Amino acid sequence: MAKPKNGRPRPDTKKPEALRSIYARVRREFSAADLQRYTEPEPSVPADQLLAELEAIDRSARRRRSPS
């Protein structure tokens, strides 16, 4: 590893040919099972419910901050 003038080692920079081979290997090893993980729907909260909960939190915080 080459050292620049400030004495800290520089990280090795990969040449474009090396990066191409790395990307090609990763593409070959990426399977349909790997992709399936990203295509399955995840449980979620409806937007209306989320908005109602956030508004309730906001109202509660405003009540605590307002001088009585």
Measured CA angle at 9 (ends 7, 14), to 5 deg? 150
- Mean pLDDT, the chain, rounded, equals 84
Q: Is residue 10 within 8 Å of residue 3, measured between CB atoms?
A: yes
Predicted local confidence at residue 16, as pLDDT: 78
Predicted local confidence at residue 58, as pLDDT: 96
Any domain includes 20: yes
Any domain includes 28: yes
Distance CA 59, CA 30 (A): 48
Q: Which domain holds residue 21?
A: 14-40
Domain count, the chain: 1
Distance CA 68, CA 66 (A): 6
